[in-house]
Structure 1
Amino acid sequence: MPRIADAQDNPVAASSAVAASGVAAGSTQASAANDFDARQKALDARTAENNYRYGVAQHNCYSKFFVNHCLNSAREDMRVVAADIRKEQLALDDEKRVEHARQRDEQAAIKRAQAEAEAPARAEQDTRNAQAYEDKQRQHQLSQAQRDAQAPQRAANEQAYQQKQQQHAIDQAQRGISPSQAAANQKAYDAKQADFQRKLDEAHQQAAQKAQERIEKQQRYQQKQTNAAQHKADVEARQKQAAEKAKQKQDEQAKQQQQQKQQQQQ
């Protein structure tokens, strides 16, 4: 698995490298499995052919004078071929076990490397989550501090309002307005103030909602940009990894061919 050691410097490229290595490993495993299947079919065919020839030889022996000798000879020939097939079968079984063990080790190594490659990204995400939580807590504390700081002013405003109401009642009494009329006037005034406050609150709410929508729209746009850049980086990393893997495979095949030529010359 090439370039897995770069996980700390480039987690995205490392993760893509691990994925490409897994694909290449899967291709190698499929090739090995196909080779094993072909060899097993060949051995099975040889076994069937050996049994068929033995059956034919047995049949022919009964038409000869020395039947027992012919049968023993045919049986011996069949056993020689069967022993040779058995030897190749045992060798093939050993190779299968070795290949299966290698595949298990390779898959385990790929999973470990992928976990290591993705660890920085997970740690970064955890850090962002923790930072967002801390920012939210600080904002909450700031809002609470602002409400606490405004509490005296709200109390002063309430007291001033009560005093104004009392003075207004005194002024109405001095002008000869009856208590019932004053109450009706006050009720109409309160209703007008409540309607004004409701409209003001609705305007503030709509403004806050629009501001939030603008923020969310900007965040979605930024996320799309980030995803596009990430996808481009992943594709480039996979393409680079595939090219390196293909070159490495070609180099290995060339090296194996050179070794085979040297062995043949020896």
Structure 2
Amino acid sequence: MSATPPDFGAEHDRITSAKAWAEYRYAQTERACYDKFFVTRCIDKAKDVRRTELHTIRERELALDEAERADRAARRDQDRAIREAQYNAERPQREAAEQKNRTDFQNKQEQQRLNEAQRQAEAPQRAANAQANAQKQAEHDAKLKAAQEQGAANAAKRAENVKQFQEKQQDAAQRQKELEERREQTKRRNEQNNNNASPLGF
């Protein structure tokens, strides 16, 4: 079938013109019949001619309608065949795309299962690492606290040593002062005794 549709419109126009021409000729013949002696016979003959022409035109019109229906049906069949052929031609590509989508989905599902299995397998190690880190932190905190306490104790000890040293210094100074005072008293007594002694020695 040609890709260009038949010109059914032109044929319809020709049929319409043929109908109009048949009616026009009948009208002309009918008018002429009134000038004849056998008017009725003339008109009946004109009607027969018109009926025959219109019947022929009607057959052309029915044939045209049937041709239009057949053309539409053929074009529908052709369009359907083209769509089916295109659908079948694209089937491998479509199936390949569907297979790829299924494969991608399965791969993602498998990767998720692997990730979950790995996460569960690593859970004890993560727990052990967390416990070890907590233990290290506790040991660090204990060492820091011990160092702080030792530092405080050392500071207190140094303060006590300084206090004791200062007290010893004060005690030594006090003893030195008392010693000097005793020496001074002894010296004064000796001088006094010397002054009180007789010049003659008795």
TM-score bin, normalised by smaller chain: 0.5 to 0.7
Correspondence 1:62 to 2:34: yes
Aligned to 2:127: 155
1:1-266 residue pairs with structure 2 within 5 A?
Answer: 28=3, 30-32=4-6, 34=7, 36-177=8-149
**For the residues of structure 2 that align with 1:73 and 1:145, how far apart are their CA atoms?**
103
Query: Match for 2:5: what amino acid?
Result: S
1:167 CA displacement: 1.8
Q: What is the identity, as a one-letter code, of the residue corresponding to 1:31?
A: P
Q: Provide the C-alpha distance between the structure 2 equivalents of 1:176 and 1:102, rounded to a whole number of angstroms.
A: 102
Please, what is the CA RMSD of the aligned residues? 2.5
> Aligned to 2:90, what secondary structure does the other structure show?
helix
Task: Give, in whole Å, the separation in 2 of the partners of 1:94 and 1:166.
Answer: 99
- 1:42, CA displacement in angstroms? 0.7
The structure with higher relative contact order (CA 8 Å, sep 6+) is 1
Quote the offset at 1:60 in angstroms.
2.6
Opposite residue 149 of structure 1, the aligned amino acid is A
Q: Structure 2: which 5+ residue stretches go unaligned?
A: 151-202
Looking at structure 2, the residues matched to 40 and 139 of structure 1 have their Cα atoms a distance apart, in angstroms, of 70
TM-score (norm. length: structure 1)? 0.50
Change (3 A) 1:143 1:55: same
Partner secondary structure for residue 175 of structure 1: helix
Contiguous gaps of at least 5 residues in structure 1: 1-24, 179-266
Q: CA deviation at 1:149?
A: 3.3
- What SS does the aligned partner of 1:31 have? coil
Q: Secondary structure at the match of 2:37?
A: coil
Question: 1:100–1:169: structure 2 CA closer, same or farther, 3 Å change rule?
Answer: closer
- Bigger radius of gyration among the two: 2
Paired amino acid for 1:59: R
Give 1:177 shift: 4.4
- Structure-2 separation of matches of 1:177 and 1:45: 124
Distance (Å, rounded) in 1 between the aligned partners of 2:133 and 2:65? 97
Alignment coverage as a number of residue pairs: 150
Report the 3-state secondary structure (helix = DSSP H, G, I; strand = E; otherwise coil) of the residue aligned with 1:120: helix
Measure how far apart 1:66 and its partner are: 3.0
